[in-house]
Chains A and B, each alone.
Chain A
């Protein structure tokens, strides 16, 4: 368990202010924020690479605020991997075993086991210069995991990878988490947050402005910044099913939406942007394949336009202009039709 209490640190042009959060054992905790929000700084402070001006940090009940870096039992995977270029993959992974009282054979077996688990068992004799970005990321992960850290800190681990590799690495991270590893993962990508996190904290200008489960944060953004930053209020856990070559995402209560995706099936989340939802007062014929009737629950102006909440069995948020609102004469309590295209629905596999 990792707890940060009122961590503050002032730099020339930036400061962390009263950063507090709690990562419990077994959590996959996501620290979500724009670039420059102070995410990496928080990780470096936890790892001990920069010291806070004030505040406390506790790991498994032990005060680590002033603990030496090498004694913290915290694993940090850097955004650019920071794999040692002059050592082989095997030497990189085994670097932290130096002080362990293990025989050469046992050390080698441990390195081999972790490398196999990460799918890089064949690369042990290779030099980092000859590896791809995805492979380097796995070396960095292996090197950190072999120390069996109390908590694994990941700094934007997916940012430098292409889409296919991202999928592979997400599966790997989930597998590592399922084995019981507590993870604190920093990202600017809400999809990553949804896909992986069991808890989310949103950081902005060096301050934690909201934290909670993904559902708390995404459905009830506490500030306009969070709402805008996350951008998507329409997100639902869903089960993907292909019927007669048409893909449907089943949300609770047997509500299903049509969707266009390469993913053949499985559990995950669907996302629909508010801007992509059309409203009408009559059941009009459009090219949209998802059409639902619902009751308007709330009409709230916000920075991007008017946020209309419609209950169709699930709560959908449509973002429309004031002109459209007046033209259609929408009022809370009225019945209206909701339309969106199958291509407007994004699926994130879990």
Chain B
């Protein structure tokens, strides 16, 4: 590969650097304005620790529970043609394009005590509003398209011939799915799961409508900013970013190791 650049390539490099700077500069600024002592001090607060833990487990639970239905749907989308398939694909992408606060309002109506789902929950003593289960639902709502789309791409990449070969070897369609299609699409699915989990953790708009309390970290950051100002919101933000990044680096690394 040539190491010399044409003028257009140099222009692209310059523009690209500006984009990178645009992403890195605010984050770097926030990190530089926060001392390790402040971060450490924040990490010792029970309210912060509880909120980070709540964020992680609600997003994880939402991702895992909804994946049980999302992965088969992705398989259908990859393998079958059916009437209104384009409409279905469009519906799946809806949560990405609608404002998340509006999604929260819609969800609130869906899970409130007056709704069918809410009544069903109440029968088991569960109130979704202001409850971790409601948070998990809100997180899953806005992040599920990432999993479905990644899994669909994964299944599309599995040669149909391999599934046919498995059928001729006497495997039932169910066994073909679990032993051929799913393992071969697994890398994409895993990356979709990680993306859904990450997107769920960072969700603010939909969650704050469904559950202000208990507070997930993005809501806590917003609350500290509103009540005490920028200075008090920064250490929590830095801590949350560090934990999120650490988590995703580990998950990505594990996914790679598995491969």
Cβ-neighbour of A82 out of B159, B172, B183, B184 (below 8 A): B159
Q: Which residue of A lies closest to B176 (CB)?
A: A70
| Complex-state Cα separation, A70 to B176, whole angstroms | 11
CB–CB A80/B183 < 8 A:
no
Cβ-neighbour of A84 out of B162, B168, B170, B172 (below 8 A): B162
CB–CB B164/A49 < 8 A:
yes
Cβ-neighbour of B161 out of A75, A78, A95, A143 (below 8 A): A78
Find chain B residues with CB under 8 A from A84 CB. Answer: 162, 165-166, 180
Find chain B residues with CB under 8 A from A96 CB. Answer: 169-171
Q: Contacts A49-B164, A82-B161, A84-B162: A70 and B172 contacting too (C-beta < 8 A)? A: yes
CB–CB B165/A70 < 8 A:
no
Find chain B residues with CB under 8 A from A86 CB. Answer: 183-184
| Complex-state Cα separation, A96 to B172, whole angstroms | 10
Q: Contacts A85-B184, A86-B183, A86-B184: A95 and B162 contacting too (C-beta < 8 A)? A: no
Cβ-neighbour of A147 out of B165, B166, B169, B175 (below 8 A): B169
**Per DSSP, are chain A's interface residues mostly helix, strand or loop, or mixed?**
mixed
Asked whether B167 is an interface residue with its Cβ less than 8 Å from the other chain, the reply is: yes
CB–CB A75/B166 < 8 A:
no
Find chain A residues with CB under 8 A from B168 CB. Answer: 47-49, 69-70, 72, 74-76, 144
Find chain A residues with CB under 8 A from B183 CB. Answer: 86
Task: For chain B, give the interface size range.
Answer: 10 to 19
Find chain A residues with CB under 8 A from B164 CB. Answer: 47, 49, 69, 78, 82
Asked whether A327 is an interface residue with its Cβ less than 8 Å from the other chain, the reply is: no
CB–CB B170/A76 < 8 A:
no
Q: Which residue of A lies closest to B162 (CB)?
A: A82
Cβ distance A292 to chain B, nearest Cβ, rounded Å: 51
Cβ distance A175 to chain B, nearest Cβ, rounded Å: 22
Cβ distance A128 to chain B, nearest Cβ, rounded Å: 11
Find chain A residues with CB under 8 A from B179 CB. Answer: 95
Find chain B residues with CB under 8 A from A245 CB. Answer: none
Cβ distance B174 to chain A, nearest Cβ, rounded Å: 11
| Complex-state Cα separation, A85 to B166, whole angstroms | 12
| Complex-state Cα separation, A72 to B168, whole angstroms | 8
Cβ distance A149 to chain B, nearest Cβ, rounded Å: 9
| Complex-state Cα separation, A78 to B163, whole angstroms | 12
| Complex-state Cα separation, A85 to B165, whole angstroms | 12
The size of the chain A interface, using a CB distance under 8 A, is: 23
Asked whether A104 is an interface residue with its Cβ less than 8 Å from the other chain, the reply is: no
| Complex-state Cα separation, A70 to B159, whole angstroms | 19
Chain A 64-84: CB-based contact to B (< 8 A → 1; otherwise 0): 000001111011101010101
Cβ distance A325 to chain B, nearest Cβ, rounded Å: 52
Asked whether A99 is an interface residue with its Cβ less than 8 Å from the other chain, the reply is: yes
Find chain B residues with CB under 8 A from A101 CB. Answer: none
Task: Give the total number of A-B pairs whose CB atoms are below 8 A apart.
Answer: 55
CB–CB A76/B165 < 8 A:
yes
Considering only residues 40-56 of chain A, those with a C-beta below 8 Å from chain B are 47-49
Cβ distance B154 to chain A, nearest Cβ, rounded Å: 13
CB–CB A95/B167 < 8 A:
no
CB–CB A95/B166 < 8 A:
yes
Find chain A residues with CB under 8 A from B165 CB. Answer: 76, 78, 82, 84
Asked whether A164 is an interface residue with its Cβ less than 8 Å from the other chain, the reply is: no
Find chain B residues with CB under 8 A from A80 CB. Answer: 161
CB–CB B171/A98 < 8 A:
yes
| Complex-state Cα separation, A96 to B162, whole angstroms | 14
Of B166, B169, B175, B179, chain A has the most CB atoms within 10 Å of the CB of B169
Chain B 30-44: CB-based contact to A (< 8 A → 1; otherwise 0): 000000000000000
Find chain A residues with CB under 8 A from B171 CB. Answer: 70, 95-96, 98
Q: Which residue of B lies closest to A99 (CB)?
A: B170
| Complex-state Cα separation, A96 to B179, whole angstroms | 12
| Complex-state Cα separation, A84 to B164, whole angstroms | 11
Find chain B residues with CB under 8 A from A70 CB. Answer: 167-172
| Complex-state Cα separation, A84 to B168, whole angstroms | 13
| Complex-state Cα separation, A48 to B171, whole angstroms | 13
| Complex-state Cα separation, A19 to B180, whole angstroms | 33
Find chain B residues with CB under 8 A from A98 CB. Answer: 170-171, 175
Q: Which residue of A lies closest to B164 (CB)?
A: A49
Find chain A residues with CB under 8 A from B159 CB. Answer: 82
Find chain B residues with CB under 8 A from A47 CB. Answer: 164, 168
Find chain B residues with CB under 8 A from A71 CB. Answer: 170
Q: Contacts A80-B161, A82-B159: A143 and B170 contacting too (C-beta < 8 A)? A: no
Find chain B residues with CB under 8 A from A144 CB. Answer: 168-169
Q: Known pairs A47-B168, A144-B169. 15 more at Cβ < 8 A?
A: A47-B164, A69-B164, A69-B167, A70-B169, A70-B170, A72-B168, A76-B168, A80-B161, A82-B164, A85-B162, A85-B184, A98-B175, A143-B169, A147-B169, A147-B170
The 6 closest A-B pairs by CB, nearest first: A82-B165, A96-B169, A69-B167, A76-B168, A82-B161, A96-B170
For this complex, 20 residue pairs linking A to B, each with C-beta atoms less than 8 Å apart, are: A48-B167, A70-B168, A70-B170, A71-B170, A72-B168, A75-B168, A76-B168, A78-B161, A82-B162, A82-B165, A84-B166, A84-B180, A85-B184, A95-B166, A95-B179, A96-B171, A98-B170, A98-B175, A143-B169, A147-B169
